Structure 1
Amino acid sequence: MSSAQDLLESRPHSVAHLFLSRVGATPDREAYRHPVAVGQGAPGAEEWRSLTWAQAADRVTAIAAGLLSLGLRTEERVAISSSTRVEWIFADLGVMCAGAAATAVYPSTDADETAYILADSGSRAIFVEDAAQLAKVVEHADRLPDLDHAIVFDPEADLPRAKGLDVLSLAELEERGRAYLGEHPEAVETTVASIEREQLATLIYTSGTTGRPKGVRLVHDCWSYQGAAQEVSGLLQPDDVQFLWLPLSHVFGKALISGQIQTGHVLAVDGRVDRIVTNLPVVRPTVMASAPRVFEKVYNGIAAKARAEGGAKYRIFRWAAQVARDHARTGQESLVATGSRKVPLWLGVQHALADKLVYGKIRAAFGGELRGSASGSAALAPDIGYFFAGAGVPVLEGYGLTETSAACTVNPVDDYRVGTVGRPLPGTEVRIAEDGEILLRGPGIMRGYHNLPEKTAEVLESDGWFRTGDIGEIDKEGFVRITDRKKDLFKTSGGKYVAPTEIEGRFKAVCPFVSNILVIGNGRNYCTALIALDESVLMPWAASNGLGGRSYAEVVSSPDVHALIDGFVQRVNGDLQRWQTIKKFSLLPRDLDVEHGELTPSLKVKRPVVEREYAELVEAMYEGAREA
């Protein structure tokens, strides 16, 4: 039996077991870093502070004991509604160590849907970040007969209250927990020892595009498997420093906790998206997980800055960007053909020069130590993947869903293939159905949808195979490629199938101004597109092209910008089949966002929502249309 198989088969029953083992093995090693405000400094001043595994355990066990003192029983649900911060992790681990199950709630979820999730899950308690999150609970308290307690991370003097709801601060819960441990010193260890693999650990509600979200039931073994599989994959090392900003209410972020505890590396935690660029040179991570949109924005920002500088600097950037792509693509083709990444001497010389002029600055922006960044939740345009790989910041695409407790395939650091989502994690099986749908089986697969047996039966076969709804293929070396979302494939009125995400990816690769694009054409006689532009990139261009002083909406509606974007549309169209080409497009007056319900918290576009909201624009693009 291989060491990888040993690790997988000997994995503990739960992450709670794993956490206590980690604390026992490396109590004095650094576990977490997090930003804290500096009291006497300038407004907004802060510093990063560290916690050892022993210090983290002190807080986690106090939280767990506090929950036990409130009468929480095995598998009863405790919700968490907060942005990504170290207290989220402590609360989640505390819930696990109390034998309860966490209900993850996005902090951006509105009051009505928050109440639905709490009621459907039967949550008995909830951790909330602040008064604003608590207010959403209080607003619909009459719909939540099971909810008895609310624990606030950042309490204020005048917190909203509801009859029958016990509100206390996190510090007060920990105080209760320590008092409880004084009377029952073995309570947490005894509870953890009793946890079984198949006990419910987490309910994560999918952010559906229509109707109410579904609660995905993930058991303790799902997360224990994730930890073991991430270590076996080689993605994480004990001496890594990982920067975590992803939402922990999302399965991608949540799975990273398991991998970190498994390997024992440092996790720097700060979920403020507007601080990512500032934090990177301070944290200097060796690994980071992200959504593709972040890499697209970084690339567009670099390109926009070079364009604004103009002249020789812009020419150098464009040359270096192409060299990066050529170097990475050629090296990958060589790897596939010969087993090693080799490039022609002339390309190697150009790459070395470009590295001194351009790539070193890009790596420095990421902190200078990044050896790889995992990307998931949506597809990354291959040209952008090749660019970062060539610049020395490989983006390791992976694939997974809420229903698979996040990653089920990932690209290895030393053998990544741009344009694929890597090989299956050890212990996970992948096969392709006759219609091209990707099927998965393994320990990370959900045990069903909460209270929805009929919905569960639609996707989960009796032999354990899960229907993902994604279309893909597996090459001879086992690398998986996602070609489209099954439900997103559409057929034109001429009977031709179109994969919109392929076209959207191509457009994002060539147009530095795009933020989001939605290709439309189901049942229509040609394809059109709704395009949202990136304000941070567009407005500097506008100021340099006679459109300074105008609002974003005015700039977007100008003929000059329409002509600018049309050039990129025609460039993409030149490489497409006739029925795939974008015949018309409309520029949206603002970007898509989570607040308007157009993007999921993991930044996926909710196609039906966007098409409904901009139905008039869509219909206008088809008015008077003839067969194309």
Structure 2
Amino acid sequence: MILNRLFDLIPYQISQYDKEVALAFKENDSWQTYSSRKIKEIVDNLSLAFLESSISKGDKVAIISQNRPEWNFVDLALQQIGAISVPMYPTITVEDYRYIFEHAEVKMVFVGDDEILEKAILAADEIKIFSFHHSDKVSFWKDFMETGQNGDLAILEKSKEAVKKDDLFTIIYTSGTTGRPKGVMLSHDNVFSNLLAVADRLVMQKGNAKVLSFLPLCHIFERTASFCYLYLGISIYYAESLEKIGDNLREIKPHGFNTVPRLLEKIYDKIVSKGYELKGIKKSLFFWALNLGNQYDPNLDQGAWYNWQLKIANKIIFNKWREALGGEIIQINCGASALQPRLARVFWAARIKVCEGYGLTETSPVISSSICNSSEIRIGSVGKIIKDVEVKIASDGEILVKGPNVMQGYYKQDDITAEVLQNGWFHTGDIGELDGEYLKITDRKKEMFKTSGGKYVAPQVIENKIKESTLIDQIMVVGENKNYPAALIVPSEEGLKEYCRHKGFPFTEMSEMVEKPEVIAKYERVIEDMNKYFAKWETIKRFKLLPRAWTIETGELTPTMKLKRKMILQKYQADIENMYQSQS
């Protein structure tokens, strides 16, 4: 059996595991499941339907939907005929839809819910649209699939044979923080080599494990993971929504999931807020356990007394954390941005193994990943470099990567491709350091700024440290060409409520609280306490408290929940200028 193109994973899974539940999606309060064989049947029919509709090798088809099995079906069906998928974030603007449709020369679009459909209709012009939901405005995807049911499988086999491992299989337009998105071109081999290397780092049981999937499939992190799960015979259950992740975790009891730091921060903050609501001895025990977790180091034996205390904490406190995640979690994979070391310590102390990795869309995505055991894990690193990938650190600290996972280039943008791909090395734009095989990320090269005094400041390091305060939800450090760093801060509502309860004054609305002198004074003390961890030129001298959280919907976060720094700088330009005008 050929096994170097991504669609080869379907017959491979049938031959090795023949899963009864390969994919699952909850619809109308009931889990709809698809076996390995059913997936093959649907994908083959879809491939034949594409051929019937004159979609052929090299043609582009867009997929815009929340996670659901139909997403996978269309993706795999396109691969089998050599057509190229163009996955898109549902949350981007109509203007971005239109730009990508035109730039990629998209010939067909598959969409999810009605909101996505409306945006696609506005942007698509003459492009044929199919919906995963019944709609009176466009054709239903199953009706399209049925046009392939009487197709010639021999013709499909010839189409599959014509697809080579180095052929382009997808163009992923990066969300970016400035300007137009760039189309990252990835081949079958780019992603296949990556999934094989990542498979060695997963400790879930082949053929029997199950995962919950909620990160967007249009992002290469979750997409490569889904191919890896197909390869390992791991059942994939798609979460109903971000709001129902907790319910789905308890219902499915998965063995693992992928996440981004922002979601882990939210899980942690929710746990801590419940701790604040406890009374008496229960509250004391909760924060005693939390303090133990903050001291945890998987590579350090802290003695019999600490180990005994941690064992008790796991029995009476942390066990509830594990139950909230379904009680069966073996491995959580975390990527897309830096995880606070404090969170890693606490989760590992609670026997919730959070394994950090690092990569980019341009590297399919994984460059390094943690090995999921306490002897191999290193808090603060993003794990070991994966098999067949080389990493070196440039003279300015930038991480350079070479390997079979590195993209073919940016679609129709040879000039920008030449800037980042030089002599076989991809320039990541991230700053880091190597300690043997372990990689540590210190900041984004493009996010670093220089003060008016000529000192470089790496904002992400400062932000992650300050976010250790239970009073701070989000923060962005500013100060380019200024004489000191300052910060925009979104307070933690739960943390602030608890502080108000403790001090005996009422919590009203966030818009009022961030203006109260006693609240501002408290945050001044928090920042002063955190400043001791930074060099003099890195310390925060001024800050502005903001009443509303930054979100994807309001435009301050990318779809993977990273800060859109340029957008935030523009949006809060007046507040930033006021911080510097008010300096003493």
Q: Report the TM-score range of the alignment, normalised by the length of the smaller protein.
A: over 0.9
Tell me the equivalent position of 1:459: 420
Q: 1:83 aligned to 66, 74, 92, which one? A: 66
Q: Give the TM-score, by structure 1 length.
A: 0.89
Whether contact under 8 Å (2:190, 2:405) holds in the other structure is yes
Equivalent position SS for 2:86: strand
Number of the residue aligned with 1:151: 130
Structure 1 position 548, deviation (Å)? 5.2
**1:470-517 CA distance string (max 9 Å, x none):** 0101103x10000111111122222222111111010112x2232221
> How far apart are the structure 1 equivalents of 2:273 and 2:205?
35
Identity within the alignment, %: 33
For 2:132 and 2:96, locate their aligned partners in 1 and report how far apart those are by CA, in whole Å: 21
Pair 1:206-2:189 in alignment: no
Helix, strand or coil: the match of 1:67? Answer: helix
Q: 1:281 to 1:537 in 2, by over 3 A?
A: farther
Q: Which amino acid aligns with 2:565?
A: R
Residue 545 of structure 1, CA deviation? 6.0
Q: Single out whichever of 109-118 and 572-581 deviates more from structure 2.
A: 572-581
Q: In structure 1, what is the Cα distance between the partners aligned to 2:432 and 2:84?
A: 34
- TM-score when normalising by structure 2: 0.95
User: 1:254-333 alignment to 2 at 5 Å?
Assistant: 254-270=223-239, 272-326=241-295, 328-329=296-297, 331-332=298-299
CA distance in 1, matches of 2:190, 2:307: 44
- Pick the aligned partner of 1:26 from 11, 17, 26: 17
User: Structure 1 residues 97, 228: closer, same or farther in 2, change over 3 A?
Assistant: same
Match of 1:172 in 2: 143
**Structure 2: distance between partners of 1:18 and 1:186:** 19
With over 3 angstroms needed to count, the CA separation of the structure-2 counterparts of 1:315 and 1:28, relative to structure 1, is: closer
Stretches of structure 2 that go unaligned for 5 or more consecutive residues are none
Specify the alignment match of 1:338 in structure 2.
none
Aligned residue for 1:373?
A: 332
Choose 533-542 or 429-438, whichever is displaced more: 533-542
The residue type equivalent to 2:332 in the other structure is S
Q: 1:28 to 1:384 in 2, by over 3 A?
A: closer
Name the counterpart of 2:81.
Answer: 98
Mapped to 1, the partners of 2:232 and 2:50 lie a distance apart of 27
1:11 Cα deviation from its structure 2 partner = 8.0
1:30 match: secondary structure: coil
Cα gap change, 1:620 to 1:234, in 2 (>3 Å): same
Distance, in Å, in 2 between the alignment partners of 1:623 and 1:512 is 29
Q: In structure 2, what is the Cα distance between the partners aligned to 1:19 and 1:99?
A: 16
Equivalent residues of 2:101, 2:124 under 8 A apart: no
1:470 to 2:395 alignment: no
Cα root mean square deviation, aligned: 1.9
- 1:507 corresponds to 2:476: no
User: What amino acid maps onto 1:204 in structure 2?
Assistant: I
Inter-partner Cα distance in structure 1 for 2:155 and 2:471 = 57
Residue 352 of structure 2 corresponds to residue 393 of structure 1: yes
Aligned: 1:609 with 2:567: yes
The residue that corresponds to 2:517 in the other structure is 559
Residue by residue, what CA displacement relative to the aligned partner does 1:77-96 show, whole Å, maximum 9, x if unpaired?
11001111222122211221
> Is the 8 Å Cα contact of residues 204 and 331 (structure 2) preserved in structure 1?
no
Partner of 1:434: 395
Map 1:98-117 to 2 at 5 A. 98-117=81-100
Letter of the 1:302 partner, please give it: I
SS, match of residue 291 in structure 2: helix
33 and 250 in structure 1: CA distance in 2 versus 1, 3 angstrom threshold: same
Deviation per CA, 1:100-130, whole angstroms, max 9, x where unpaired? Answer: 1110110001111101011101111110113
1-structure distance, mates of 2:522, 2:246 = 28
Q: Residue 8 of structure 2 aligns to a residue in which SS? A: helix
Superposed CA offset, 1:219-247 (max 9, x none): 11112112211222345541321111001
C-alpha distance in structure 2 between counterparts of 1:114 and 1:419, whole Å: 37
Once the two structures are superposed, what CA deviation does each residue of 1:549-590 show, in whole Å capped at 9, x if it has no partner?
A: 733322333334323333321221122222211111111121
Aligned partners of 2:11, 2:514: CA distance in 1, in Å?
Answer: 55
Aligned partners of 2:367 and 2:23: how far apart in 1? Answer: 26
Q: Distance in 2 between matches of 1:176 and 1:596?
A: 41
Superimposed CA distance per residue, residues 247-277 of structure 1 (whole angstroms, 9 cap, x where no aligned partner): 1111111111111111111111125110111
Q: Is residue 203–residue 330 contact of structure 2 (8 Å, CA) maintained in 1? A: no
Query: For 2:541, what is the secondary structure of its paired residue?
Result: strand
Matches within 5 A, 1:479-628: 479-509=438-468, 511-535=469-493, 538=496, 550-625=508-583
Does the 8 Å CA contact 1:324/1:387 hold for their aligned counterparts? yes
CA contact (8 A) 2:13 2:19 kept: no
In 2 relative to 1, CA 376–28 (structure 1 residues): closer, same or farther, beyond 3 Å? closer
Matched-pair contact (CA < 8 Å) for 2:473–2:490: yes
Q: Tell me the CA shift for residue 301 of structure 1.
A: 1.3
Aligned-partner Cα distance in 1 for 2:154–2:201: 35
Unpaired runs of 5+ residues, structure 1, are 1-9, 38-45, 160-166, 335-341
Q: Give 3-state SS (helix, strand or coil) of 1:582's partner.
A: coil
Task: Please name the residue that 1:189 is paired with.
Answer: 157
**Residue type of the partner of 2:89?**
Y
Q: Corresponding residue for 1:222?
A: 190
**Other-structure match for 1:127:** 110
Mapped contact 1:152–1:168 kept (Cα < 8 A): yes
3-state DSSP of counterpart to 2:150: helix
| SS of the residue 2:117 aligns to | helix
Kindly indicate whether the alpha-carbon contact (under 8 Å) linking 1:131 and 1:155 is maintained by their aligned counterparts in 2: no
Alignment of 1:36 onto 2:27:
yes
- Over 3 Å counting, the alpha-carbon distance change for 1:373 and 1:208 in structure 2 is same
Q: 1:559 to 1:305 in 2, by over 3 A?
A: farther
Instruction: Quote how far apart the aligned CAs of 1:191 are.
Output: 2.0
* Equivalent residue for 2:372, pick from 400, 403, 413: 413
SS state at 2:147 partner: helix
Give, in angstroms, the shift of residue 24 of structure 1: 3.5
Residue 430 of structure 2 aligns to a residue whose secondary structure is strand
Q: Which residue of 2 aligns with 1:444?
A: 405
- Residues 83, 271 of structure 1: 8 Å contact kept: no
What SS does structure 1 have at the residue aligned with 2:337?
Answer: coil
Find the aligned partners of 1:12 and 1:153 in 2 and give their Cα distance: 30
Q: After the TM superposition, which of the residue ranges 184-193 and 110-119 deviates more from structure 2?
A: 184-193
**CA distance, structure 2, for counterparts of residue 236 and residue 99 of structure 1:** 32
TM-aligned CA distance change 1:434 to 1:177, over 3 Å: same
Name the residue aligned to 1:6: none
* Corresponding letter in the other structure for 1:299: Y
Letter in 1 for 2:214: W
Mapped partners of 2:519, 2:158: distance in 1: 65
Q: Is the 8 A contact 1:31 1:50 kept in 2?
A: yes
3-state SS of 2:323 partner: helix
Query: Residue 557 of structure 1 contacts residue 589 of structure 1 at CA under 8 Å; is this kept in 2?
Result: no
